[in-house]
Structure 1
Amino acid sequence: MKENPNYIRFIREKVGNDLLFLNFAGGIIYNEKNEILLQKRGDRNAWGFPGGAMELGESAEETAIREIFEETGLTVNVEHLIGVYTKYFDKYPNGDEAQTIAFFFQCKLVSGEIVADGAESLEVRFFAVEDLPPLFNAQHEDALKDWLSNKVGNYR
């Protein structure tokens, strides 16, 4: 199988802005204070969990680890799958439409220093659970609810 370093760009060149399935993976990362890491996304100017699109040839776990590092500068270990979230629709600022399928993992911080690149990540920081800002979409909100309820293996 030939790997493509930017699957979304590759597929969008063929279908334009039309509705399609896109697969994502990300993580709920906690620290020793049980705070949760959030990323202020450059495309939405809103908070969410770090993660991103799967590339051809990657597993969901590999995607989560890679995307978290790219967006935050942090290396994590995946501890377990929180859930798979499948019946969500999004319209992006550029007009692209997608039914998004997201794999959310619980991740433990291993190493690194927080870095926000100013484009994809405007800000990255840990929040106490009781002080979380609103999340940018229902998919992230549902993953958070499941994580806070200590549920694993969820599917929606």
Structure 2
Amino acid sequence: MARRLDFYDDPQAPAPNSLVPSVNVIVTNDAGEILMIRRSDNDNWAVPGGAIDLGESLPQAAIRETLEETGITCEITGLVGTYTDPRHVILYTSNGEARQEFSIVLTARPVAGEPTPSDESKEVRWVSRDEIDSLTSDRSMRLRIGHFLESLDDATGPHIG
């Protein structure tokens, strides 16, 4: 099976050979829970997201990726931040792509659907704020979710990095 391997500030990381604008979406329900997936390619928990396709806007990509990975249709509500750290390299073993991080993280609310796994997600569910730390996630995903939670607590603006 194809795998996704994340490297951060690792001298063993492959040299990046691509840069692909991507989006992640932090969807929250009325109970304040976050919609999360357990990824099929690395078994880590993450918020939905993926590459922005040609001819597609950032919000269109966010809505499409969320629906494809979770079964939930969402409405975009805001911006968490941009994440472009060149020390974060993502290796896709299926084709040898070594991608430098480039992700814009948006917030959203659900408008329809039920959590449903896909080819990209082994499990999809609403996760309480208290439960997030107990889930296995990549460092970059924890950072993004942490910035979102901080913004709820102290009204900070978007994170640029």
**Normalised-by-shorter TM-score class:** 0.7 to 0.9
Deviation, structure 1 residue 35: 0.8
Structure-1-length-normalised TM-score: 0.82
Please name the residue that 1:38 is paired with. Answer: 36
Among 78, 81, 93, the alignment partner of 1:80 is: 78
Match of 1:126, SS state, is strand
> C-alpha distance in 1, partners of 2:75/2:129?
21
Please name the residue that 2:160 is paired with. Answer: 155
Please name the residue that 1:131 is paired with. Answer: 131
Deviation, structure 1 residue 145: 1.2
Asked if the contact 1:78–1:108 (Cα under 8 Å) also holds between the matched residues in 2, the reply is yes
Deviation, structure 1 residue 134: 2.7
Task: Find out whether 1:111 has 2:109 as its counterpart.
Answer: no
Match of 2:144, SS state, is helix
Task: Find out whether 1:122 has 2:122 as its counterpart.
Answer: yes
Aligned length: 138
> C-alpha distance in 1, partners of 2:139/2:63?
22
Percent sequence identity over aligned pairs: 30
The CA RMSD over aligned residues, in Å, is 1.5
Please name the residue that 1:50 is paired with. Answer: 48
Q: Deviations over 1:4-37 (max 9, x none)?
A: xxxxxxxxxxxxx961101111211111111111
Gaps in structure 2 of 5+ consecutive residues: 1-14
Deviation, structure 1 residue 154: 1.2
Please name the residue that 1:3 is paired with. Answer: none
> C-alpha distance in 1, partners of 2:53/2:117?
22
> C-alpha distance in 2, partners of 1:18/1:82?
25
Gaps in structure 1 of 5+ consecutive residues: 1-16
AA aligned to 1:153 is P
Q: Deviations over 1:22-71 (max 9, x none)?
A: 11112111111111111111111111110111101112111111100111
